[in-house]
Structure 1
Amino acid sequence: MFKLKTELKPQNNKLTSFFPINTKDRKGIFDWDIVLGHFVKYAYRKSIASDQFEQFKLKCKENFESKLDEPQFWQHLESMYFSGDELYKISPELLLFKAQDIKGSSANKRLGDLFLNLLQEHHLQESPSLSLNFLEKELVETFNSFTFSGSKAGTVSKAPTETPYLPFLRDLFVQDLDFIASKPKYFIENIIDFLKLYTFLYTAQITLNLSEWKAGPPSAKPCYFILDTEKASDERSYVKSYGYRQLANSFDKVFPYLAMNESLQDPSAVKQPLWAVTGLESTQTVLEALNTYAAEFKDERQLPLEINDAQEVEDAIENLLLLSHAQFKRGESRHEVNVHYCKAIESELCGHFVQSRGRSGRVLVLNQDYILLLTNIVIGNRERLRLHELLVEFEARGLSFDKQTQKVLVSFYERIGNVERMSDSGDAVYVRKTV
């Protein structure tokens, strides 16, 4: 339930909920290895004390030297598992070491918290069991003695501080995560790409749904992609109008809208999405508080925008959103703040899916690795899906393809051999997963 703040007063623009970008963030702010560590901590509801890696390594050394006939063999084991990333390929939970509290990791935690928003109370029941050799089993057993879960895991076991902004995407994320986690080797190899994909989907869908807050819970909005092997052209109207351009044109609303949403809410309550404000009771007291806040905000920011006292809660909120957006318009002192914020959204959250294509400008692009990952998680526990059904599942996640890309997609599936054609009809084309 949306709980209005007792005293609404203009304050510094601040955003600590629903979005991981900070106004001071610049290119390269996220370390995906550390983000992955935070995610694993949330997903398995397990944690590990800070600065335990060296102690873990020492314990492994002691255990192996007590069991091996040749103690000096430890040097080979150390080289095998501790000199690179081989250790993290044994079990997903070992990635907890990447969530250690190191200097500069606050941005990574912010991005990790995005996945907590998607997970909510859901967590993976147990770590996928891999076929481990004697050495790896020993490493996992030693590692387990360093972890703690449940109430001992501190913030890991606490309820999320935000209601899901995108309930439809949250449900799909949990479904897809459960599937990929059931395939341990595939999970370890693809989990970072999976998180990058859902980071983009979350960013795109929250961006495209912001202006439609009056409609209630968000729905999947189409984003048109091409494959990385395709050429882009201005004639492709869907790709041009409903691809990169529509996102870029809406990025400038993210910070103003979400910061205003946060400024309205009681800081001690669970943060609610902007669309939940429609549940506020339209009493005279609430209306007066919102209208007064709007007038004071306009005066404090010295904004030329003309507004009238609203007679309904939704109109009062609309006034506040217009004012919050107006303070960042060109010519205002805060303009550059939002310019840099939009650049950070694109480079840090969407950069893996945006390419410049000459005269066609920037477009949204999926490479073959992401197509295969999407195909596998969408088919999930089923053996195969009709092409039409597959495309519907893509669209449910906010990914759309025009007819030209659909043809290229089928050709790609045929090349890798996971297509069954029952006839020349498109309805009789089945796609199998590859995992």
Structure 2
Amino acid sequence: MKNNFKDISIKTIGEKNLIKHFYPFTREDYVPNKQYSFNEIIGLLIAYINSEQLKVFDFQLFKEKCINSFSAYIDDEEETINLLENLYFKEEKINLDSLLIKQIFLPSTKSKKVFEIFKDMINTKKINVDFESNSNFLEQIITNQFKKEFKSDNLKTSNTSYLPFLEKFFRKDLEFLNTNKHYFSKNLESFLELYLFIYCSQLALNLQPVENALSVPSSQELYFILNYETASNERKKVSEFGYKKLYDKAKYIFPYMSLLSIFSKVLKNDNLKLYELEDIFNNDDIELMRNFHIKFREAKKLPSNESLLPETNIKEVLTNIFNSTFEQFLEYNFQGKKNIVERKGPLNKVHKAFETQIAAPFLVNRKRAGKVLVMDQDRLILLTNIAIGEKKKVRFQELLTEFNNRGIYFDIKSQVELINVFEKVGNIERKSDSGDAVYVKTTI
């Protein structure tokens, strides 16, 4: 398919920039209120894993079917039925503590886009998650009736995740979380919120510098502190590899992912990743890619190509293309002249959306130290439990490695505070005074 680049036209490349896959937010999402719903996303997740699709749902008819089924078990019918109707169907809602009921939410376009992140991490692999919950016999009647409202949907076409190192942990952690029904139901939204942040932050860190974008993604350092800790510039890991660095890298997501959309369209591969380009193109394709670069700059109204690097191999040609895709979003191009098309404003909005839609739950402003990433106790215990998983307990240093594998890092000072939190919770076990002999147990 790379032969499609031979006679590529400016029209094919296009002046507009769009992201087709792997990142859900656009310039419309820079507003502070959340543009998606985890209730809707959970409903989509359940339907996808269970291979189900909700039929046209008639609430009144569904309620009547449930009440008719109640009648077979109730003697004092009218008064009790009225009580149950008010209990389970008040305000035209199904008032049931069951994740299955979340499938009734009609998902917005943005919720569907966010769900694609999780769908890609599950991919077409079989995942063992049971969304049933413990319930009394009346609630089971409602649940059984609700199940009849679905039809099978076995079309599990999906891209693979942009971050292969992360998808294996997501599936593993989701399955483990499901081993305790009550804990699963209570924490599923927090779990998805955490993984949405991890995915988007690791995506940003694996796109810039360009060497990262052209390499298979891996866990990149990103430092948190506990929410009650003080932050200062003396904490080098936090200041140099914390939110400031992440937010700076996040501005490259839209330019680079929009470039990926062009490559995907020309190569006719919706599952293409930027780090696969060096496997597709080699040094024999240097002139092919140079020609594409010229046409790309024309399409984006950039001045004629003046290489930012000497081009002696395909990696340097690709690097120049990456630099050009970011250059179009600057107020002034790399030649010091004002860009013809103003794209700085739209990029700033997409950049702001990263903070408002993804990072906000993990951020605090510590004045002189600026905005820092924080972990509160509830989220820390959830992260700890899924990191320990079926092992029941692990050495503290092993736990930190599991955190790092998932893109969560703590400096030495925070590590001391982690042990203090675990001791208060009561899930620390000491074999000796040695730090290596400190074990952390699951709280599930």
Q: Say whether the fold is shared (TM-score over 0.5).
A: yes
Residue 4 of structure 1, CA deviation: 6.3
Alignment of 1:354-393 (within 5 A): 354-393=363-402
Offset at 1:246?
Answer: 1.0
Matches within 5 A, 1:232-311: 232-266=231-265, 268-282=268-282, 284=284, 286-304=285-303, 306-307=306-307, 310=311
Q: CA deviation at 1:296?
A: 2.0
Which whole-Å deviations, capped at 9, do the CAs of 1:116-157 have from their partners, x for residues lacking one? 111101344452543321112111111111122243xxxxx2
Per-residue displacement from partner, 1:337-379 (whole Å, max 9, x unpaired)? Answer: 0100010011101111111112111000011110010011111
1:170 matches 2:128: no
Change (3 A) 1:171 1:126: closer
Question: Which residue of the other structure, out of 353, 362, 374, is the alignment partner of 1:344?
Answer: 353
Tell me how large the CA RMSD over aligned residues is.
2.3
Specify the SS of the correspondent of 1:250.
helix
Instruction: Show the 5 A alignment for 1:110-189.
Output: 110-125=113-128, 127-151=130-154, 157-160=155-158, 162-189=159-186
Q: Distance in 1 between matches of 2:3 and 2:64?
A: 51
Q: Which residue of 2 aligns with 1:47?
A: 53
Taking a change above 3 Å as real, the CA distance of residues 147 and 123 of structure 1, as seen in their structure-2 partners, is: farther
Q: Which residue in 1 is equivalent to 2:437?
A: 428
Aligned partners of 1:326, 1:8: CA distance in 2, in Å?
A: 20
Whole-Å separation in 2 of the counterparts to 1:3 and 1:173: 37
Amino acid of the structure 2 residue aligned with 1:114: I
Q: Does 1:313 align with 2:338?
A: no
Question: CA-to-partner distance for each residue in 1:195-243, whole Å, 9 max, x for gaps?
Answer: 0000000011110001334653211001100001111112111001101
Please state whether the residue corresponding to 1:216 is helix, strand or coil. coil
Change (3 A) 1:287 1:52: farther
Partner-residue secondary structure (3-state), 1:177 = helix
CA displacement at 1:406 relative to structure 2: 0.7
Q: Is the 8 A contact 2:214 2:274 kept in 1?
A: no
| Counterpart secondary structure, 2:373 | strand
Distance 1:159 1:395 in 2: 31
In the TM superposition, what whole-angstrom CA distance separates every residue of 1:46-87 from its partner, at most 9, and x where no partner exists?
221244444433321232234422144233223333348884
1-structure distance, mates of 2:386, 2:198: 14
**2:81: which partner in 1?**
74
Shift of 1:8: 5.4
CA distance in 1, matches of 2:2, 2:405: 27
Displacement after TM superposition at 1:89 (Å):
2.1
Query: Is 1:24 the equivalent of 2:3?
Result: no
- Secondary structure of the equivalent of 2:433? coil
Could you say which residue in structure 2 is the equivalent of 1:206? 203
Aligned residue number for residue 224 of structure 1: 223
Name which of 15, 19, 40 aligns with 1:15.
19
**Offset at residue 282 of structure 1 (A):** 2.4
Q: Kindly provide the amino acid, as one letter, of the partner of residue 248 in structure 2.
A: N
Normalised by the size of structure 1, how large is the TM-score?
Answer: 0.90
4+ residue stretches of structure 1 with deviation over 4 A?
1-6, 308-311
> Structure 2: any 5+ residue segments left out of the alignment?
333-338
One-letter code aligned to 2:97: K
Pairwise CA distance, 1:409: 0.8
Structure 1 residues 74, 289: closer, same or farther in 2, change over 3 A? Answer: farther
Structure 1 residue 93: Cα displacement = 2.3
Give the AA of the match of 2:185.
Answer: I
- Does structure 2 retain, via aligned residues, the 8 Å contact 1:168–1:220? yes
2 CA distance for matches of 1:295 and 1:349? 35
Cα distance change, pair 394–60 in 1 and its aligned pair in 2 (3 A): same
Pick closer, same or farther for the CA change 1:126–1:372 going to 2, 3 Å: closer
Q: Check conservation: 1:163, 1:270, Cα contact below 8 A.
A: no
8 Å CA contact 1:130, 1:184 repeated in 2: yes
Deviation at 1:3, TM superposition (A): 9.6
CA distance in structure 2 between the partners assigned to 1:86 and 1:53 by the alignment:
9
Q: Tell me the matched-pair count.
A: 423
Tell me if the contact between 2:232 and 2:369 (Cα under 8 Å) persists in the aligned partners. Answer: yes
Report the AA paired with residue 300 of structure 1: A
Query: How big is the shift at 1:164?
Result: 1.9
The 2-side partners of 1:20 and 1:325 are apart by: 19
1:59 maps to 65
Once residues 117 and 53 of structure 1 are traced to their aligned partners in structure 2, the CA distance between those partners, rounded to angstroms, is 32
Letter in 1 for 2:409: S
Residues 78 and 316 of structure 1, relative CA distance in 2, 3 Å threshold: farther
Structure 1 residues 67 and 5 mapped into 2: Cα distance closer, same or farther (>3 Å)?
Answer: farther
Local SS of the residue matching 1:165:
coil
Per the alignment, in what secondary structure is the counterpart of residue 348 of structure 1?
helix
Structure 1: where are the runs of 5+ without partners?
Answer: 152-156
Query: Equivalent residue of 2:439, what SS?
Result: strand
Structure 1 residues 320 and 281, CA gap change in structure 2 (3 angstroms): closer
Structure 1 range deviating more: 350-359 or 20-29: 20-29
